[in-house]
Each structure stands twice: as C-alpha cells, then as structure tokens.
Amino acid sequence: MAIIEAQAGLVEALSGEMTPKFLASRSAEGIPNVVPVTSVMPAGDVEDRLIFGNFLLRKSVGNLDADPRVGILVITTDLEGWILQGDFQGWQCTGPYVERLNSTDLLRYNAYTGIRNAGVIQVRAVLRHFRLSKLRVLADYLVARAAARPPALSDGATAMPRPVQQGFSPLTAIRVLAFLDGQGYPLVVPVLSLQPAGERALVCAEGLAAGLLEPLSAGSPVAASLLTLDIVSFQAKGRWLGSRRVLGAPVGGMAVTAVYAGGPPIPGQQVA
C-alpha cells in the first residue's frame, strides 16, 4: 500500500484546499525555511506524489532548486496532523498539474494571479501522526507562558516588531518549528504554544514534539512559522537555545535573528 494511503485521513487532509499545510526547505548551507503552502495536495496520478503551486514563494524556490530535501506538516481544524518528508522532483510550467492547481478555489479567486508553475514532491516517509486535544493545547500554552521570560542572549539576536510579537501571542494561532534532522532533511513539528519571551526570543512547551526535538543541539539553526486565524503569516529564523523543564514539562526556546513576512503584500520580505 502507498505510504500516504496507509494513513487513514491523510489523503482527505491533504486534499482540503484550506487545510493548513507547511512546507520546509533548506538552503545549500543548511538553513531551514518554513512557510504555509496550503496548495499542497495529492497529485492523483502517481502514488505518494504531491503537487503545490508556486504562488508568492520566494526563498523556498531557491532552496528547492539548490537541495531537493523537504519537510511537510499538515494539521486540520480538529487538531489532527501528520509530519512528512520527501524529495522535490522539479517544476512543471504547463500541463495537468498546473491546470488542476489553477482551478482550485484558493487560486482561481485570489486577488493576485495564478501560479507560475507547479512543484512536484515525492513523499518518502510519514514520520508521525498526532492528535492534539484542546486541553493539551491549553496546558502547553500555560506552561509556555510561565516560561516566557527573556533569556540571556549573546550578540546577533534581533528585536521582533510589535505586530510579530502580537501575532505569536494568541492561543489560537498555528505555529510550527522547522530544523534539519540527522540526515539533513527538514523536519516540521507542531509547537502551538510558541510565543515571545521578551523581544528577541520565542519559547514553547515542546509537548508532542519533545521526542523529535530531543536530538536538536543548542545553536542549531531553526525557523518558526506563524499562521493566524486572520491569515496573517510571519517566519522567524534563529538558533535553538536548548531545552529545560518548567512545571515538570520540557520547554524549548529560540533566539530570533531575523523575521520575514509570510504573505501579501510583501511575502518573503525581511521585516526585522
């Protein structure tokens, strides 16, 4: 059986045009990048093949052309999710993939334009299937709030603009963290409690991601992506500060070194 089809509910989640999905790529130097790409969907004609639209993607395009390794996270409104990894297979400028993506409501009625081309990904593994209860999300959020004190940071960290801090603060926003695993593949994990710890750091209760974050050493490059209910998106890049325990729960943090807008009108533009 195909990898994707073996996971009950995953095909349906990937097919949802408004289901939050995040795509992580990496630069040739090993710096992760993660952005919302809700156009990711099953190709339909080849097992374990996904397609997505090159729509308002900037850094991701260069990364994918430089290194094919990718990570994907899908999370539904019921807080059920999957963590996948795969290999980018290239771009298609014409043909059924482009036509299919441009015919979706997401792209057909956007205020800008259709996609430039269709990206193709071959899934190599579904690493984890998870379900988050609202009680667990609240508990992790409260732990992170208790841990949200500004850490001592060396030079290089930057202050997040006020709108970015406000975006990371609410309980309801979706946040994910991307980093490279031992094989150099981007890995995207859910960190819904991620929030500011002062102006230059973010902190989260690791929750269900604790086992995946455990091998991540302090100083490793990381990237966090935020998607609010108002479809506002930011990406924060920085370095991992390591883990500690707060109220008996593992808590991790990152020093922020740059912040980028994740959507219109200036997608990919650095804001801090």
Contact predicate 246/147, CB 8 Å? yes
| Single-letter amino acid, residue 208 | L
For the chain, what percent of residues have pLDDT higher than 70?
Answer: 94
Say what the pTM is: 0.94
One-character DSSP codes across 128-168 = EEEE--HHHHHHHHHHHHHH--PPP--TT--PPPHHHHHHH
CA gap 271, 106 in Å, rounded: 26
* E strands present in 8-68: 21-26, 32-36, 41-42, 49-53
Quote the pLDDT of residue 266: 64
Residue 232 has pLDDT above 90, yes or no: no
CATH architecture of the domain 10-130 equals Roll (2.30)
Residue 33 has pLDDT above 70, yes or no: yes
pLDDT digits (tens, 9 = 90+) for 243-263: 999 999 999 999 999 999 876
User: What are the residues whose beta carbons fall under 8 Å from the beta carbon of 235, sequence distance 6 or more?
Assistant: 33, 34, 35, 223, 224, 225, 226, 259, 260, 262
Residue range(s) of every CATH 2.30.110.10 domain in the chain: 10-130, 132-261
Mean pLDDT, to the nearest integer, of 128-153? 94
pLDDT band at 103 (very low <50, low <70, confident <90, very high): confident
What is the reported pLDDT for 92? 95
pLDDT for 110 equals 55
- Let me know if domain 132-261 sits in CATH 3.40.50.300: no
Q: What is the pLDDT of residues 186-230, one digit of tens each?
A: 999 999 999 999 999 999 999 999 999 999 999 999 999 999 888
Q: How far is CA 233 from the centre of its chain?
A: 11
Give the model's pLDDT for residue 104: 84
**pLDDT recorded at residue 265:** 53
